[in-house]
């Protein structure tokens, strides 16, 4: 009889895989600005945020930990720069907005569980699979997952802030394997980012699945990811595991 691979551990990305923000960043920033007497268009703030986040991530990767920053200070600086790019030059006026936004995004109320996420996690647990999180998030993630009722599904939550390295760095996946006392061959990762959640884990020997949703796939991604590794929805995960020859009911 042919040997059947048994996946024993599933690691998960979180943002835009299991959770998403309830409202676009630009709308949240604009609402908080308005509450403090600043009128800025949400679309302008959205664009400013994308620029500020990208620049800050490049200059101070992984929340600036190696530069002596805390993740809180990193995010406060991103907010200040976002408003600056949107034309608000008064940093003193923006400082309380930044503090409020940091607290707001720490709350489970700012987030929503994606359709099918909890059912899929429950189905994985029913099969006897162990679950864990590997996320390029900061330490607020534990509280957010707990508040949304998802923390109980995971053996541990490993953020890039806690690990010291962000995905796709191999070391964050290797640390997760050590925490779980698992080998790469019996572990699969699930996420929505091609580089961080598909290529990254495969580079250290894990299996991986790419959650793509309804949007059209980039042709380069489509051509490089086997069809059986693509998940149009989270409901496709358990059948994909079956096709992989992995965990079967009752394991």
- Domain positions in the chain are 9-18+114-246, 22-110
Question: With 0-12 CB in 10 A as exposed, 13-18 as middle and 19+ as buried, what is 201?
Answer: buried
Nearest CA to 12 among 164, 114, 147? Answer: 114
Structure tokens at 120: 């899929």
CATH of 9-18+114-246, one of 3.30.200.20, 3.40.50.1000, 1.10.150.120, 3.40.50.150: 3.40.50.1000
Tens digit of pLDDT for each residue in 154-209? 999 999 999 999 999 999 999 999 999 999 999 999 999 999 999 999 999 999 99
Rounded Cα distance between 211 and 190, Å, is 7
Q: Residue 188: which residues within 8 A CB-CB, separation 6 or more?
A: 7, 9, 10, 11, 201, 206, 207, 208, 209, 241, 244, 246
φ/ψ of 100, rounded to 5, equals: -65, -40
Per-residue pLDDT of the chain (251 residues; tens, 9 = 90+): 344 568 999 999 999 999 999 999 999 999 999 999 999 999 999 999 999 999 999 999 999 999 999 999 999 999 999 999 999 999 999 999 999 999 999 999 999 999 999 999 999 999 999 999 999 999 999 999 999 999 999 999 999 999 999 999 999 999 999 999 999 999 999 999 999 999 999 999 999 999 997 777 888 888 899 999 999 999 999 999 998 874 333 33
Q: What is the pLDDT at residue 4? A: 57
Contact between residue 133 and residue 155 where contact means Cβ atoms under 8 Å apart: no
Q: In CATH, what number does 22-110 get?
A: 1.10.150.720
Among residues 138, 133, 187, 155, the alpha carbon closest in space to that of 12 is found at 133
For residue 156 the two structure tokens come to: 């541990």
Q: What is the 3-state secondary structure (H, E, C) of the chain?
A: CCCCCCCCEEEECCECCCEEECCCHHHHHHHHHHHCCCCCCHHHHHHHHHHHHHHHHHHCCHHHHHHCCCHHHHHHHHHHHHHHHCCCCCHHHHHHHHHHHHHHHHCHHHEEECCCHHHHHHHHHHCCCEEEEEECCCCCHHHHHHHCCCHHHCCCEEEHHHHCCCCCCHHHHHHHHHHHCCCHHHEEEEECCHHHHHHHHHHCCCEEEEECCCCCCCHHHHHHCCHHHEECCHHHHHHHHHHHCCCCCCC
Q: Say how far apart CA 199 and CA 129 lie, in whole Å.
A: 22
For the entire predicted model, the pTM comes to 0.92
């Amino acid at each position: 009889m042919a040997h059947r691979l048994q996946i024993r551990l599933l690691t998960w990305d979180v943002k835009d895989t299991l959770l998403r923000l309830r409202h676009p960043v630009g709308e949240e920033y604009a609402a908080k600005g308005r509450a403090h007497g600043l009128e800025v268009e949400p679309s302008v703030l959205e664009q400013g945020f994308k620029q500020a986040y990208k620049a800050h991530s490049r200059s101070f990767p992984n929340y600036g930990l190696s530069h002596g920053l805390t993740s809180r200070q990193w995010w406060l600086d991103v907010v200040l720069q976002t408003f600056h790019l949107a034309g608000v030059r008064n940093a003193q006026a923006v400082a309380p907005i930044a503090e409020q936004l940091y607290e707001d995004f720490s709350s489970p109320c700012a987030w929503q569980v994606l359709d099918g996420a909890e059912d899929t996690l429950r189905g994985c647990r029913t099969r006897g699979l162990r679950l864990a999180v590997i996320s390029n998030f900061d330490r607020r993630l534990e509280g957010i997952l707990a508040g949304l009722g998802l923390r109980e599904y995971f053996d541990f939550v490993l953020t890039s802030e806690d690990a010291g390295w962000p995905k796709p760095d191999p070391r964050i996946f290797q640390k997760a394997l050590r925490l779980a006392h698992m080998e790469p061959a019996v572990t699969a990762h699930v996420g929505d980012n091609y580089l961080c959640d598909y290529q990254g884990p495969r580079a250290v020997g894990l299996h991986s699945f790419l959650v793509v949703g309804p949007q059209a796939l980039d042709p380069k991604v489509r051509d490089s990811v086997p069809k059986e590794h693509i998940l149009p929805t989270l409901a496709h995960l358990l059948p994909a595991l079956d096709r992989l020859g992995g965990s079967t009911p009752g394991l």
